[in-house]
Protein backbone atom coordinates (compact mmCIF):
# COMPACT_ATOMS: atom_id res chain seq x y z
CA UNK A 1 0.00 0.00 0.00
CA UNK A 2 1.34 3.36 -0.97
CA UNK A 3 1.25 5.43 2.21
CA UNK A 4 1.00 8.91 0.83
CA UNK A 5 4.20 10.94 1.19
CA UNK A 6 2.18 13.85 2.52
CA UNK A 7 0.93 11.95 5.58
CA UNK A 8 1.61 14.70 8.09
CA UNK A 9 0.32 17.99 6.78
CA UNK A 10 -3.36 17.37 7.58
CA UNK A 11 -4.01 17.00 3.88
CA UNK A 12 -4.65 13.29 3.52
CA UNK A 13 -7.65 11.02 4.02
CA UNK A 14 -7.78 7.99 6.29
CA UNK A 15 -10.17 5.29 5.03
CA UNK A 16 -11.53 2.61 7.39
CA UNK A 17 -13.56 0.13 5.37
CA UNK A 18 -12.92 -3.44 6.50
CA UNK A 19 -15.58 -5.05 4.31
CA UNK A 20 -13.98 -7.04 1.49
CA UNK A 21 -11.88 -4.73 -0.69
CA UNK A 22 -13.93 -1.58 -0.13
CA UNK A 23 -11.01 0.35 1.38
CA UNK A 24 -8.61 -0.47 -1.45
CA UNK A 25 -11.26 0.35 -4.00
CA UNK A 26 -11.99 3.75 -2.44
CA UNK A 27 -8.27 4.46 -1.98
CA UNK A 28 -7.42 3.64 -5.59
CA UNK A 29 -10.19 5.90 -6.81
CA UNK A 30 -9.14 8.81 -4.58
CA UNK A 31 -5.52 8.49 -5.69
CA UNK A 32 -6.71 8.81 -9.28
CA UNK A 33 -8.25 12.12 -8.17
CA UNK A 34 -4.89 13.16 -6.64
CA UNK A 35 -6.24 13.00 -3.10
CA UNK A 36 -3.69 11.64 -0.61
CA UNK A 37 -5.12 8.57 1.04
CA UNK A 38 -4.27 5.75 3.45
CA UNK A 39 -6.50 2.66 3.71
CA UNK A 40 -5.94 1.30 7.19
CA UNK A 41 -6.69 -2.05 8.78
CA UNK A 42 -9.01 -1.47 11.71
CA UNK A 43 -7.25 -3.77 14.15
CA UNK A 44 -3.50 -3.20 13.99
CA UNK A 45 -2.29 0.17 12.69
CA UNK A 46 -5.13 2.56 13.43
CA UNK A 47 -3.50 4.44 16.32
CA UNK A 48 -0.30 4.78 14.34
CA UNK A 49 -2.19 6.44 11.48
CA UNK A 50 -4.21 8.69 13.75
CA UNK A 51 -1.01 10.05 15.30
CA UNK A 52 -0.05 11.27 11.81
CA UNK A 53 -3.12 13.55 11.79
CA UNK A 54 -5.43 12.74 8.87
CA UNK A 55 -7.37 15.72 7.49
CA UNK A 56 -10.51 13.61 7.08
CA UNK A 57 -11.57 10.17 8.28
CA UNK A 58 -13.84 8.07 6.04
CA UNK A 59 -15.45 5.19 7.87
CA UNK A 60 -18.02 2.56 6.84
CA UNK A 61 -20.57 1.25 9.32
CA UNK A 62 -18.94 -2.20 9.59
CA UNK A 63 -15.83 -0.45 10.92
CA UNK A 64 -17.69 1.08 13.86
CA UNK A 65 -16.85 -1.56 16.46
CA UNK A 66 -16.39 -0.33 20.06
CA UNK A 67 -12.61 -0.54 19.86
CA UNK A 68 -12.39 1.62 16.72
CA UNK A 69 -14.92 4.13 18.06
CA UNK A 70 -12.82 4.41 21.25
CA UNK A 71 -9.54 4.88 19.37
CA UNK A 72 -11.02 7.66 17.23
CA UNK A 73 -12.59 9.22 20.36
CA UNK A 74 -9.15 9.28 21.97
CA UNK A 75 -7.66 10.92 18.88
CA UNK A 76 -10.42 13.57 18.85
CA UNK A 77 -9.90 14.34 22.53
CA UNK A 78 -6.28 15.35 21.84
CA UNK A 79 -7.22 17.81 19.07
CA UNK A 80 -6.36 21.48 19.64
CA UNK A 81 -9.11 24.13 19.74
CA UNK A 82 -8.79 25.14 16.10
CA UNK A 83 -9.19 21.56 14.79
CA UNK A 84 -12.57 20.08 13.92
CA UNK A 85 -12.02 16.71 12.25
CA UNK A 86 -14.55 15.91 9.49
CA UNK A 87 -15.64 12.25 9.69
CA UNK A 88 -17.55 10.86 6.73
CA UNK A 89 -19.66 7.85 7.66
CA UNK A 90 -20.80 5.59 4.83
CA UNK A 91 -23.95 3.70 5.85
CA UNK A 92 -25.99 0.90 4.31
CA UNK A 93 -29.47 1.97 3.34
CA UNK A 94 -30.87 -0.35 6.00
CA UNK A 95 -28.66 1.00 8.82
CA UNK A 96 -30.44 2.72 11.76
CA UNK A 97 -29.22 6.26 11.02
CA UNK A 98 -30.77 7.99 14.06
CA UNK A 99 -29.29 5.51 16.54
CA UNK A 100 -25.83 5.58 14.93
CA UNK A 101 -25.87 9.37 14.79
CA UNK A 102 -26.73 9.80 18.45
CA UNK A 103 -24.15 7.19 19.52
CA UNK A 104 -21.35 8.82 17.50
CA UNK A 105 -22.29 12.36 18.53
CA UNK A 106 -21.86 11.41 22.17
CA UNK A 107 -18.66 9.38 21.54
CA UNK A 108 -16.98 11.91 19.26
CA UNK A 109 -17.63 15.42 20.52
CA UNK A 110 -15.82 18.13 18.57
CA UNK A 111 -15.96 16.33 15.22
CA UNK A 112 -18.00 17.10 12.11
CA UNK A 113 -20.12 14.07 11.29
CA UNK A 114 -21.23 13.72 7.65
CA UNK A 115 -23.49 10.77 6.82
CA UNK A 116 -23.82 9.34 3.33
CA UNK A 117 -25.74 6.35 2.00
CA UNK A 118 -23.94 3.60 0.16
CA UNK A 119 -23.27 3.08 -2.57
CA UNK A 120 -21.99 6.65 -2.77
CA UNK A 121 -21.43 7.98 -6.28
CA UNK A 122 -17.66 8.47 -6.80
CA UNK A 123 -18.15 12.06 -7.89
CA UNK A 124 -20.15 12.81 -4.73
CA UNK A 125 -17.42 11.31 -2.52
CA UNK A 126 -14.74 13.37 -4.28
CA UNK A 127 -16.80 16.56 -3.87
CA UNK A 128 -17.34 15.92 -0.17
CA UNK A 129 -13.64 15.22 0.38
CA UNK A 130 -12.46 18.23 -1.65
CA UNK A 131 -14.70 20.64 0.21
CA UNK A 132 -13.65 19.19 3.58
CA UNK A 133 -9.96 19.33 2.64
CA UNK A 134 -10.55 23.01 1.98
CA UNK A 135 -12.18 23.34 5.42
CA UNK A 136 -9.09 21.76 6.97
CA UNK A 137 -6.78 24.05 5.01
CA UNK A 138 -8.67 27.05 6.41
CA UNK A 139 -8.43 25.62 9.92
CA UNK A 140 -4.65 25.28 9.49
CA UNK A 141 -4.43 28.86 8.27
CA UNK A 142 -6.32 30.01 11.36
CA UNK A 143 -3.89 28.01 13.51
CA UNK A 144 -0.88 29.59 11.74
CA UNK A 145 -2.35 33.07 12.13
CA UNK A 146 -2.86 32.50 15.87
CA UNK A 147 0.70 31.25 16.18
CA UNK A 148 2.08 34.24 14.28
CA UNK A 149 0.08 36.61 16.41
CA UNK A 150 1.39 34.96 19.58
CA UNK A 151 4.99 35.28 18.33
CA UNK A 152 4.45 38.90 17.34
CA UNK A 153 3.01 39.73 20.76
CA UNK A 154 6.02 38.17 22.48
CA UNK A 155 8.41 39.97 20.16
CA UNK A 156 6.57 43.26 20.66
CA UNK A 157 6.77 42.89 24.43
CA UNK A 158 10.48 42.14 24.15
CA UNK A 159 11.15 45.15 21.90
CA UNK A 160 9.12 47.56 24.03
CA UNK A 161 11.02 46.44 27.14
CA UNK A 162 14.34 46.91 25.32
CA UNK A 163 13.38 50.36 24.10
CA UNK A 164 12.25 51.43 27.59
CA UNK A 165 15.51 50.10 29.04
CA UNK A 166 17.47 52.04 26.39
CA UNK A 167 15.52 55.24 27.06
CA UNK A 168 16.04 54.84 30.83
CA UNK A 169 19.78 54.39 30.29
CA UNK A 170 19.98 57.35 27.93
CA UNK A 171 18.22 59.48 30.54
CA UNK A 172 20.52 58.37 33.37
CA UNK A 173 23.63 58.95 31.27
CA UNK A 174 22.43 62.32 29.97
CA UNK A 175 21.58 63.50 33.48
CA UNK A 176 25.11 62.75 34.70
CA UNK A 177 26.69 65.01 32.08
CA UNK A 178 24.18 67.85 32.02
CA UNK A 179 25.03 71.08 33.86
CA UNK A 180 21.51 72.55 33.75
CA UNK A 181 17.96 71.29 33.33
CA UNK A 182 17.83 72.99 29.93
CA UNK A 183 20.96 71.13 28.82
CA UNK A 184 19.43 67.90 30.07
CA UNK A 185 16.18 68.51 28.17
CA UNK A 186 17.96 69.46 24.94
CA UNK A 187 20.47 66.62 24.96
CA UNK A 188 17.93 64.02 26.02
CA UNK A 189 15.52 65.10 23.28
CA UNK A 190 18.32 65.07 20.69
CA UNK A 191 19.18 61.48 21.61
CA UNK A 192 15.56 60.34 21.54
CA UNK A 193 15.05 61.98 18.14
CA UNK A 194 18.13 60.14 16.82
CA UNK A 195 16.77 56.86 18.21
CA UNK A 196 13.32 57.56 16.80
CA UNK A 197 14.67 58.47 13.33
CA UNK A 198 16.64 55.28 13.01
CA UNK A 199 13.66 53.28 14.28
CA UNK A 200 11.46 54.82 11.58
CA UNK A 201 14.07 54.14 8.90
CA UNK A 202 14.43 50.49 9.95
CA UNK A 203 10.66 50.06 10.09
CA UNK A 204 10.24 51.54 6.61
CA UNK A 205 12.97 49.25 5.33
CA UNK A 206 10.99 46.20 6.46
CA UNK A 207 12.08 45.85 10.07
CA UNK A 208 15.15 43.62 10.07
CA UNK A 209 17.85 45.30 8.01
CA UNK A 210 18.72 48.73 6.74
CA UNK A 211 21.04 50.32 4.21
CA UNK A 212 24.11 51.85 5.86
CA UNK A 213 24.09 54.69 3.35
CA UNK A 214 20.54 55.65 4.39
CA UNK A 215 21.53 55.55 8.09
CA UNK A 216 24.46 57.90 7.48
CA UNK A 217 22.59 60.35 5.26
CA UNK A 218 19.65 60.41 7.66
CA UNK A 219 21.87 61.18 10.64
CA UNK A 220 23.96 63.89 9.01
CA UNK A 221 21.14 65.42 6.91
CA UNK A 222 20.42 68.29 9.34
CA UNK A 223 24.04 69.54 8.89
CA UNK A 224 24.02 69.36 5.11
CA UNK A 225 20.98 71.51 4.43
CA UNK A 226 20.67 75.05 3.01
CA UNK A 227 23.47 74.50 0.53
CA UNK A 228 25.96 73.66 3.27
CA UNK A 229 28.01 70.50 3.15
CA UNK A 230 29.56 70.21 6.59
CA UNK A 231 29.68 66.42 6.81
CA UNK A 232 30.99 64.66 3.74
CA UNK A 233 30.46 60.90 3.55
CA UNK A 234 31.30 58.09 1.19
CA UNK A 235 31.43 54.32 1.21
CA UNK A 236 29.76 51.31 -0.37
CA UNK A 237 26.12 50.73 0.49
CA UNK A 238 25.60 47.71 2.74
CA UNK A 239 22.55 46.05 4.26
CA UNK A 240 23.27 46.00 8.00
CA UNK A 241 21.22 44.43 10.78
CA UNK A 242 18.69 46.42 12.76
CA UNK A 243 20.92 46.38 15.86
CA UNK A 244 24.04 47.43 13.92
CA UNK A 245 22.14 50.19 12.12
CA UNK A 246 20.76 51.55 15.39
CA UNK A 247 24.18 51.55 17.09
CA UNK A 248 25.91 53.18 14.12
CA UNK A 249 23.21 55.88 13.93
CA UNK A 250 23.54 56.65 17.65
CA UNK A 251 27.36 56.74 17.34
CA UNK A 252 27.14 59.21 14.44
CA UNK A 253 24.70 61.30 16.48
CA UNK A 254 27.13 61.43 19.43
CA UNK A 255 30.16 62.18 17.24
CA UNK A 256 28.20 64.95 15.51
CA UNK A 257 27.04 66.40 18.83
CA UNK A 258 30.60 66.44 20.16
CA UNK A 259 31.87 68.02 16.94
CA UNK A 260 29.28 70.80 17.30
CA UNK A 261 30.13 71.38 20.97
CA UNK A 262 33.92 71.06 20.96
CA UNK A 263 35.15 70.06 17.51
CA UNK A 264 35.24 71.06 13.87
CA UNK A 265 31.53 71.85 13.59
CA UNK A 266 31.84 74.53 16.29
CA UNK A 267 33.44 76.79 13.65
CA UNK A 268 31.82 77.95 10.42
CA UNK A 269 34.59 76.48 8.20
CA UNK A 270 35.08 73.21 10.07
CA UNK A 271 34.34 69.98 8.23
CA UNK A 272 33.87 66.30 8.90
CA UNK A 273 34.56 63.37 6.62
CA UNK A 274 32.95 60.01 7.26
CA UNK A 275 34.20 57.12 5.14
CA UNK A 276 33.84 53.40 5.32
CA UNK A 277 35.18 50.43 3.34
CA UNK A 278 34.89 46.69 3.05
CA UNK A 279 38.15 44.93 2.24
CA UNK A 280 39.20 41.32 1.71
CA UNK A 281 37.13 38.60 0.12
CA UNK A 282 37.49 35.62 2.47
CA UNK A 283 36.57 37.24 5.76
CA UNK A 284 35.83 40.84 4.76
CA UNK A 285 36.82 43.55 7.21
CA UNK A 286 34.62 46.60 7.69
CA UNK A 287 36.30 49.83 8.70
CA UNK A 288 34.86 53.26 9.35
CA UNK A 289 36.65 56.58 9.93
CA UNK A 290 35.41 59.88 11.28
CA UNK A 291 37.87 62.70 10.55
CA UNK A 292 37.41 66.34 11.57
CA UNK A 293 39.33 69.24 9.99
CA UNK A 294 39.52 73.04 10.01
CA UNK A 295 38.17 73.19 13.53
CA UNK A 296 39.45 74.99 16.63
CA UNK A 297 42.72 73.90 18.31
CA UNK A 298 42.22 70.32 19.46
CA UNK A 299 42.37 69.64 23.18
CA UNK A 300 42.23 66.27 24.84
CA UNK A 301 39.16 66.44 27.11
CA UNK A 302 39.85 66.01 30.83
CA UNK A 303 36.80 63.87 31.34
CA UNK A 304 35.17 61.35 29.06
CA UNK A 305 31.58 62.40 28.34
CA UNK A 306 28.63 60.15 27.69
CA UNK A 307 28.91 60.49 23.89
CA UNK A 308 32.52 59.36 23.80
CA UNK A 309 31.85 56.50 26.19
CA UNK A 310 28.87 55.36 24.15
CA UNK A 311 30.84 55.42 20.88
CA UNK A 312 33.67 53.45 22.50
CA UNK A 313 31.32 50.82 23.97
CA UNK A 314 29.01 50.53 20.98
CA UNK A 315 31.73 50.26 18.33
CA UNK A 316 33.65 47.87 20.62
CA UNK A 317 30.61 45.61 21.01
CA UNK A 318 29.66 45.87 17.36
CA UNK A 319 33.08 45.15 15.84
CA UNK A 320 34.76 43.17 18.63
CA UNK A 321 37.59 45.70 19.06
CA UNK A 322 37.46 49.11 20.71
CA UNK A 323 37.78 52.07 18.31
CA UNK A 324 40.83 54.31 18.20
CA UNK A 325 40.21 57.94 19.12
CA UNK A 326 42.94 60.43 18.29
CA UNK A 327 43.02 64.09 19.31
CA UNK A 328 45.35 65.01 16.44
CA UNK A 329 46.42 68.62 15.88
CA UNK A 330 44.57 68.66 12.54
CA UNK A 331 41.33 67.47 14.11
CA UNK A 332 39.68 64.73 16.13
CA UNK A 333 39.65 61.27 14.54
CA UNK A 334 37.79 58.10 15.39
CA UNK A 335 38.49 54.82 13.58
CA UNK A 336 37.05 51.39 14.05
CA UNK A 337 37.32 48.10 12.22
CA UNK A 338 36.24 44.52 12.59
CA UNK A 339 34.77 41.52 10.76
CA UNK A 340 32.03 42.71 8.39
CA UNK A 341 30.03 39.59 9.27
CA UNK A 342 29.28 41.15 12.67
CA UNK A 343 27.10 43.86 11.18
CA UNK A 344 26.03 42.76 7.72
CA UNK A 345 22.55 41.30 7.35
CA UNK A 346 22.72 37.80 5.78
CA UNK A 347 26.47 38.37 5.14
CA UNK A 348 25.95 40.03 1.78
CA UNK A 349 25.86 43.52 0.39
CA UNK A 350 22.80 45.26 -1.04
CA UNK B 1 39.61 43.88 52.61
CA UNK B 2 38.40 47.36 51.70
CA UNK B 3 35.93 47.78 48.87
CA UNK B 4 37.51 51.03 47.68
CA UNK B 5 38.39 50.42 44.03
CA UNK B 6 37.25 46.79 44.22
CA UNK B 7 37.13 45.27 40.75
CA UNK B 8 33.79 44.14 39.34
CA UNK B 9 32.81 42.73 35.95
CA UNK B 10 29.60 43.75 34.17
CA UNK B 11 28.32 41.38 31.45
CA UNK B 12 25.46 42.77 29.35
CA UNK B 13 24.88 42.74 25.58
CA UNK B 14 22.72 45.89 25.41
CA UNK B 15 25.30 48.67 25.15
CA UNK B 16 23.14 51.42 26.63
CA UNK B 17 22.03 49.32 29.59
CA UNK B 18 25.62 48.19 30.25
CA UNK B 19 26.99 51.69 30.02
CA UNK B 20 24.48 53.03 32.53
CA UNK B 21 25.28 50.50 35.27
CA UNK B 22 29.04 50.66 34.52
CA UNK B 23 29.14 54.42 34.99
CA UNK B 24 27.01 54.19 38.15
CA UNK B 25 29.46 51.67 39.62
CA UNK B 26 32.46 53.79 38.56
CA UNK B 27 30.89 56.82 40.24
CA UNK B 28 30.89 54.78 43.45
CA UNK B 29 34.60 54.12 43.12
CA UNK B 30 34.57 50.59 41.75
CA UNK B 31 37.00 49.51 39.04
CA UNK B 32 34.71 48.17 36.33
CA UNK B 33 35.43 45.74 33.50
CA UNK B 34 32.86 45.32 30.73
CA UNK B 35 31.94 42.38 28.51
CA UNK B 36 29.14 42.05 25.97
CA UNK B 37 28.96 38.25 26.06
CA UNK B 38 30.00 35.22 28.11
CA UNK B 39 33.10 34.40 26.04
CA UNK B 40 34.48 37.92 26.48
CA UNK B 41 33.66 37.72 30.22
CA UNK B 42 35.70 34.54 30.63
CA UNK B 43 38.64 36.07 28.76
CA UNK B 44 38.59 39.02 31.15
CA UNK B 45 38.31 36.78 34.24
CA UNK B 46 41.29 34.75 33.02
CA UNK B 47 43.45 37.87 32.89
CA UNK B 48 42.10 39.95 35.79
CA UNK B 49 42.23 37.76 38.87
CA UNK B 50 41.48 40.82 41.03
CA UNK B 51 37.80 40.75 39.97
CA UNK B 52 35.67 40.07 43.05
CA UNK B 53 32.15 40.23 41.69
CA UNK B 54 30.38 39.56 38.41
CA UNK B 55 27.09 41.28 37.51
CA UNK B 56 25.59 39.46 34.52
CA UNK B 57 22.47 39.58 32.37
CA UNK B 58 20.88 36.19 31.60
CA UNK B 59 19.57 36.81 28.09
CA UNK B 60 22.56 37.20 25.83
CA UNK B 61 23.50 35.86 22.41
CA UNK B 62 26.58 33.65 22.08
CA UNK B 63 27.71 30.24 23.25
CA UNK B 64 26.51 30.68 26.87
CA UNK B 65 23.68 32.60 28.48
CA UNK B 66 24.16 34.36 31.83
CA UNK B 67 23.07 31.36 33.91
CA UNK B 68 25.57 29.04 32.21
CA UNK B 69 28.21 31.74 32.63
CA UNK B 70 27.35 32.02 36.34
CA UNK B 71 27.71 28.24 36.73
CA UNK B 72 31.08 28.31 34.92
CA UNK B 73 32.33 31.15 37.11
CA UNK B 74 31.15 29.43 40.30
CA UNK B 75 33.09 26.36 39.14
CA UNK B 76 36.33 28.00 37.98
CA UNK B 77 36.53 31.08 40.21
CA UNK B 78 34.74 30.11 43.45
CA UNK B 79 35.58 33.34 45.34
CA UNK B 80 33.93 35.59 42.71
CA UNK B 81 30.51 36.78 43.94
CA UNK B 82 27.68 36.63 41.46
CA UNK B 83 24.67 38.87 40.72
CA UNK B 84 22.30 37.81 37.95
CA UNK B 85 19.68 40.00 36.23
CA UNK B 86 16.96 39.41 33.64
CA UNK B 87 13.98 41.11 32.06
CA UNK B 88 12.37 37.80 31.07
CA UNK B 89 13.11 35.18 33.67
CA UNK B 90 11.33 35.59 36.95
CA UNK B 91 13.81 34.20 39.44
CA UNK B 92 14.68 34.82 43.06
CA UNK B 93 17.88 34.41 45.10
CA UNK B 94 16.59 31.04 46.37
CA UNK B 95 15.97 29.44 42.99
CA UNK B 96 19.13 30.65 41.26
CA UNK B 97 21.13 27.61 40.14
CA UNK B 98 24.25 29.11 41.76
CA UNK B 99 24.79 30.93 45.02
CA UNK B 100 24.21 34.60 44.30
CA UNK B 101 21.66 37.39 44.10
CA UNK B 102 18.98 38.07 41.51
CA UNK B 103 17.64 41.43 40.24
CA UNK B 104 14.77 41.68 37.76
CA UNK B 105 15.03 44.34 35.06
CA UNK B 106 14.72 47.23 35.13
CA UNK B 107 16.74 47.36 38.33
CA UNK B 108 17.32 50.27 40.68
CA UNK B 109 20.97 51.29 40.41
CA UNK B 110 21.26 52.33 44.04
CA UNK B 111 19.97 48.93 45.22
CA UNK B 112 22.38 47.13 42.91
CA UNK B 113 25.26 49.25 44.18
CA UNK B 114 24.48 48.67 47.86
CA UNK B 115 24.23 44.91 47.19
CA UNK B 116 27.55 44.93 45.32
CA UNK B 117 29.14 46.77 48.24
CA UNK B 118 27.72 44.29 50.77
CA UNK B 119 28.82 41.24 48.79
CA UNK B 120 32.32 42.56 48.12
CA UNK B 121 32.76 43.53 51.80
CA UNK B 122 31.77 40.02 52.90
CA UNK B 123 34.84 38.45 51.26
Shortest Cα distance, chain A CAs vs residue B33, angstroms: 12
Q: What stretch of H or E contains A200?
A: helix A181-204
Cα separation, B35 vs A201, whole angstroms: 29
Task: Give the confidence band of B5 by pLDDT, cuts at 50, 70, 90.
Answer: confident
Instruction: Write the pLDDT tens digit of every residue in A220-234.
Output: 888 877 777 889 999
Cα separation, B7 vs B26, whole angstroms: 10
A contacts of B44 (beta carbons < 8 Å): none
In this structure, what DSSP letter does residue B34 have? E
CA distances from B107 to A244, B17, B32 (A): 25, 10, 18
Q: Is the pLDDT of residue B45 over 90?
A: yes
Q: Is the pLDDT of residue A114 over 60?
A: yes
Task: Give the confidence band of A348 by pLDDT, cuts at 50, 70, 90.
Answer: very low
Q: Average pLDDT, whole number, for chain B? A: 91
Nearest CB neighbour to B36, from listed A166, A169, A317: A317
pTM assigned to the model: 0.76
Q: Average pLDDT, whole number, for chain A? A: 89
Scanning every residue of chain B, which has its alpha carbon at the shortest distance from the alpha carbon of A170?
Answer: B16
Task: Give the confidence band of A6 by pLDDT, cuts at 50, 70, 90.
Answer: very low
CA distances from A130 to A56, A59, A88, A139, A191 (A): 10, 16, 12, 14, 58
User: pLDDT at position A25, please?
Assistant: 80
Whether residue B109 lies within 8 A of chain A, CB to CB, comes out as yes
Whether residue B27 lies within 8 A of chain A, CB to CB, comes out as yes
Enumerate residues 6+ apart whose C-beta is below 8 A from A85: A54, A56, A57, A75, A76, A79, A110, A111, A112
Cα separation, A229 vs A226, whole angstroms: 9
User: pLDDT at position B122, please?
Assistant: 78
A contacts of B19 (beta carbons < 8 Å): 169, 173, 306, 309-310, 313
Amino acid sequence: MNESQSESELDWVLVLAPFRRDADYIAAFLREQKIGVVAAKVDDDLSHHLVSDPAIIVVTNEALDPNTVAKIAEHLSTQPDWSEVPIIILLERSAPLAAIRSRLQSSWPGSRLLFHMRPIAPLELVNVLQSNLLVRLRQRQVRDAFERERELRLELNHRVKNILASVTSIFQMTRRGAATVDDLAREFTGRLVALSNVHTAVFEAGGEEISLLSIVSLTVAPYNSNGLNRIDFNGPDLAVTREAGTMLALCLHELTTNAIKYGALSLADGKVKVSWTIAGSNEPVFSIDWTESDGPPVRQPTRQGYGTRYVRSALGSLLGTAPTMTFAASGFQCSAKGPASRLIAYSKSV
Amino acid sequence: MSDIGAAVLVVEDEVLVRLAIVTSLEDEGFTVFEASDADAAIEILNVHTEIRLMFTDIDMPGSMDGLKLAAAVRDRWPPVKIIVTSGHHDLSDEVLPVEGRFFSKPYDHSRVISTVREMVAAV
